[in-house]
Structure 1
Amino acid sequence: MFKMVTTLMRGRSHDAVEAFADANALSILRQQLRDAADGLEKAKRAVAVVMAYAARERQTAARIAGQIGDLETRAMDAIRQGRDDLATEAAAAIAELEAEQAAVARAIAHYDTEIRGLREQVGLAGQRLRALQRGKQIADACDRTQKLRGTMPRGFPASLREAEETLERLRSRQEHAEEVEIALSDLSVDTSAGATAARMAAAGCGAPLRPDAAQVLDRLRAQAH
């Protein structure tokens, strides 16, 4: 039982850590990228320091080469003059310088190897960092989009649909009202013209518009016979 409780506690702790990491993933990523960028700058400075050491060793190698050349020239002059003592002294100094020259050459070779490796690592790290920064930009954009989507009212689409239906009803009413106005206008025109024609017919202008009682009586009498 105790083991089960312990396992449960560890499981809940792990879940809580994962939930916290998920909820703050973007903030964690930003800080990790800042740390990585800082580390990359430090690595670049380290490469620069190694390159400076290598440059100093090359200066030393050039100085030693100059000293060896000078001593060799002087030693040959001493030999020509029969000064073997001076020639021997010069040869000993040249031997020491050549030993130092060999050590410097090994140091330069070591620095060159280290510089190539470090520069390659820095270059790869820079590429990875740039890729991560591009990914962070995409993550930032997605996060802003999700937050914007979350601020929209839940009934927003339904409200739009209801507004569209209301507008459609309003348009239908307006169209009907326009049709009524047109019909009333036509009716007014017809009524006005009919009234004018009736007044003129009553005044004896033109044929009567409707039969009068005398005309009806005459027609009935004719039918009776």
Structure 2
Amino acid sequence: MFVVGLTGGIGCGKSAVTGCFAALGVPIIDADVVAREVVEPGQPALQEIAGQFGTEALDASGALNRSWLREHIFTHPDAKTRLEAILHPRIRHAMRQKLTKVAAPYAIFSIPLLFETGQDSGVDRVLVVDCPVELQISRVTQRDQATLAQTQSIIDSQIDRASRLAMADDIIDNSGSLHDLPPIIEKLHEKYLKLAT
């Protein structure tokens, strides 16, 4: 199975791009979606998180207390490493499992931290969705009601733009409007169909 790893900085428009590929019938396996699935109540990862971080990591209903965990990781850098050690192997395994059920010439792995987690070695081609940092900041602060400091800290925690672009096989410049995307994606889709056969 030919796999395209899609990545990009926060606010670059990865969801808009995967939406266009999905509209063309391309299966999308999204790391963010899988990350939510592996911490659902009853999943071993959730029990392990509660064991590592205490009951504060769970809300009153027994689900993951995301806001507490986000704050905890922000103030305890070692906690991020511990959380990733619980989640990343499970997310990778679940994504590979989903791939075995795909019946299409190629699939897209949408992974925001593709390079940071070393998963670029597990895909056949890397597609980077890109836009200038100023645009990332304005999109994220508007979309997530995030402060400038929060947004900047997320951008700083990701690989820098120049390095990301240097490691890309294909790049989509998403600094324009959403109407600009479909023709670009149709061209890439044709290219990936050829490469997959």
TM-score, normalised relative to structure 2: 0.19
The structure that has the greater radius of gyration is 1
| Bigger relative CO (Cα 8 Å, ≥ 6 apart) | 2
TM-score, normalised relative to structure 1: 0.18
Q: Which has the higher strand share?
A: 2
